[in-house]
Structure 1
Amino acid sequence: MGQTHSCAFRLASEAKMIENRIKFRHLQCFIEVARQNSVSRAADVLSLTQPAVSKKLKELEEILEVQLLDRSKRGVELTQFGRVFLKYAGASLSALREGTDSIIQAQMKGSMRINVGVLPTVAANVLPAAVINFRQSGVDVTLNLISGPNTLLLSQLRVGELDLVVGRLAEPKLMTGLSFQHLYSERVTFVVRPGHPLLDRTPFNIQDIRQFNVLFPTKGSIIAVAVERFLISQGMGLLPDRIETISGSFGKEYIRQSNAIWIISRGVVAREIEEGELIELPLDTKETLGPVGLTIRADTLPTPAIQMFINSIRTAAASVAEKNGEL
């Protein structure tokens, strides 16, 4: 019994000594090399030299007294010991980051910010309710809501200037390094002011929209391709008289004062349609249906405050999904 106790005590002491020698940089280099399967690529990601990363890996293997990585011309592969250690190293690093974030957030109380890229499709029908819900939680955070073209917002997200982007799913080529979380689906609609001449034409013919000024999504906007495909499927060519814009405020006022037709994501004008301020033309636009959701960086875990805001967005989006018949 005494011998067993002595052995356990010796093992615990040795483990403690090893733990004290392993540093944050050891884990960071090992995890990144395992992720990249390459010392050189890991060095680029970590902004270190290749010799510096190799040194940290060698130190870690000497501390643990096992080989964690097999190095060959094909790259770097984990050994059996490496695969076991990776599981716990990743969990340790994540826990350390979460703990550090919590301390920083506590120190920055009152000055912490969440930077959110907002696309027009959610600015009116999701974000207001989400912000109200989030503020009721009592979290002392400044929300910085930024609108702009999707390409710009995603580039800002990728480099860390934004914490998340809320809106339609972007094209695959723009989603490298990013992760999308679906909230609901939404279609494009064609709206006009009450009393518009087209509303009296029975049966309605889509070709008649060529006789009017049309507000069309800008070339770089997410819905532009979907709209163009829809018009082609309806036998429509290039619309001769169009203004390209993604401005919701301009669109709403311009439509009220003219006989223009506005082609826009339905979420942008959902309230105006519901209250009779704008009227939808009788077109079946289901083929323009597209996913709306949250885009975040794939390699970054949301802070507790950001996760709370995401939860508020989900709550607000659930009511939109219900209206759209998705729930």
Structure 2
Amino acid sequence: MARPVSLDRAVNRLKLTQLRLLIAVGKHRAILHAAQELNISQPAATKMIKDVEADFDVRLFDRTNRGAIPTAHGRALIRHAQLIFAQLGNAAQEMKDLTDGATGRVVIGTLVAGSARLVPHAIGRVLAERPNVTIKVVEGTNEILMPRLRTGEIDMVVGRLPTHRHRRDLHQLALGEEKIHLLVGRAHPLAQRAGLSFDDLRPFGWILPPSETTLRRQIDEAFVEHDQYQPPVIVESVNYLTNRALLGQGKLIGLAPRQGVLLDIGTAMLVPLDFELPFGSGPIGATHRGADQLSPAAKVFLQALVDEAAA
């Protein structure tokens, strides 16, 4: 079904400068600051916004005492504008890679569950077949990585799949199941004890993921179910090297995916506690914007993830 002529005209009249301005206003919540960022006058910026609003016959920003607040239409156009610039940046980088003799580029966001085995082994598979592919790995939580995935800065996120949040407009590919362990350092008083109960854990501090993560919500619910338990000490961290060093001091309890700690368990640097969590098993896999949004290099990497998971 053909789009209305007016909409075609609006799209054809749209300029990259206008899109940059919309993104800047959305960021600063002020037309003046956005105009300064783009080195244009405020009246010129205001006219550019009014032109876009007139072309699409919508209001993009509400002028309030809190500044210029994007409307639903404004947020939608800003989101797509960010994706357009991310794709243009990817295209420019890919052309540079081709000029430099590379054969593509892929940006991978990795969570703890994917960073220890799945992602590095998949990278090994890709580079064995295509040594000129450029691979960039970005670490973080879903709250950090998923917005960057939506705007096109990242091609896919690998790790524990979100079960509720961060699923809108995204595609998930499950690659297996992952189990969460409770861990301590080998010098911890509970390291060699069998048949632990929750009461045995109460005196010790915990290393926990940030409060906005699914795993944190699960452990907080478990604490509530055990008489509103509050750990005496809480360290919030998802950096594995930091967590491993803290656990090595022998005073804290931590949580980590099984695949991420197998090596340290094997060397007895870390010890899994003999305590069964009431949660913690969940799917791991890759989240992306859809097969049609993946570059050739990203498609190759996704297949490498599938092959590695099967192996």
User: Do the structures match in fold with TM over 0.5?
Assistant: yes
TM-score w.r.t. length of structure 1: 0.63
Matched, 1:130 2:127: no
1:257 to 249, 256, 262: 249
Residue 307 (structure 2) pairs with residue 315 (structure 1): yes
- State the match for 1:13 in structure 2: none
Match of 1:212 among 204, 210, 222: 204
Match status 1:180 vs 2:177: no
Q: What's the secondary structure of 1:196's corresponding residue?
A: coil
Structure 2: distance between partners of 1:220 and 1:41: 39
Deviations 1:43-90 (A, max 9, x none): 99999689999xxxxxxxxxxxxxxxxxxxxxxxxxxxxxxxxxxxxx
Alignment of 1:264-283 (within 5 A): 264-283=256-275
What is the aligned partner in structure 2 of residue 285 from structure 1? 277
Counterpart in 1 of 2:182?
A: 190
Partner SS, residue 211 of structure 1: coil
Tell me by how many angstroms 1:311 deviates: 1.4
Tell me the TM-score normalized by structure 2.
0.66
In structure 2, relative to structure 1, the CA distance for the partners of 1:312 and 1:40 (3 Å cut) is farther
Q: Distance in 1 between the 2:9 and 2:177 partners?
A: 40
Matched, 1:165 2:157: yes
Decide which moves more: 129-138 or 292-301.
292-301
User: Do structure 1's residue 298 and structure 2's residue 303 form an aligned pair?
Assistant: no
Aligned-partner residue type, residue 303 of structure 2:
N
Pair 236,42 (structure 1): closer, same or farther in 2 beyond 3 Å = farther
Give the Å deviation of 1:285.
Answer: 2.5
| One-letter amino acid of the counterpart of residue 263, structure 2 | R
SS of residue in 2 equivalent to 1:145:
strand
* CA deviation vs aligned residue, 1:81-100 (integer Å, no higher than 9, x gap): xxxxxxxxxxxxxxxxxxx9
Q: How far 1:182 sits from its partner (Å)? A: 0.3
Q: Which amino acid aligns with 1:243?
A: V
Contact 1:43/1:50 (CA < 8 Å) preserved in 2?
A: no
- C-alpha change, 1:260 and 1:301, in structure 2 (3 Å) is same
Check the 8 A contact 1:149/1:220 in 2, yes or no: no
Secondary structure at the residue paired with 2:132?
coil
Report whether the alignment pairs 1:114 with 2:106.
yes
* 1:22-63 deviations in Å (ceiling 9; x for gaps): xxxxxxx84xx5xxxx9999999999689999xxxxxxxxxx
Q: C-alpha separation between the residues in 1 aligned to 2:207 and 2:135?
A: 31
Question: What is the CA RMSD across the aligned residues, in angstroms?
Answer: 3.4
Q: Structure 1's 167 and 202: CA in aligned 2 closer, same or farther, altered over 3 A? A: closer
Bigger Rg, structure 1 or 2 = 1
Residue identity in the other structure for 1:149:
T
Q: Is the 8 A contact 1:40 1:50 kept in 2?
A: no
Quote how far apart the aligned CAs of 1:291 are.
1.1
Aligned to 1:240: 232
> What's the offset of the Cα at 1:265?
2.5
Aligned-residue offset at 1:218: 1.3
Equivalent positions of 1:24-63 (< 5 A) are 30=2
The alpha carbon displacement at 1:105 in A equals 9.4
Distance 2:8 2:225 in 1: 47
C-alpha distance in 2 between matches for 1:119 and 1:47 = 41
- 4+ runs of 1 displaced by more than 3 Å? 38-53, 103-109, 199-203, 230-236, 298-301
**How far apart, in 2, do the equivalents of 1:40 and 1:285 lie?**
58
Alpha-carbon contact 2:174-2:283 (below 8 Å) kept:
yes
Tell me the amino acid that sits aligned with residue 177 of structure 1: D
Kindly state the Cα deviation for residue 313 of structure 1 after the two structures are TM-superposed: 1.5
Paired with 2:9 and 2:190, the residues of 1 have a C-alpha distance of 62
Matched residue of 1:136: which SS? helix
User: Number of paired residues?
Assistant: 238
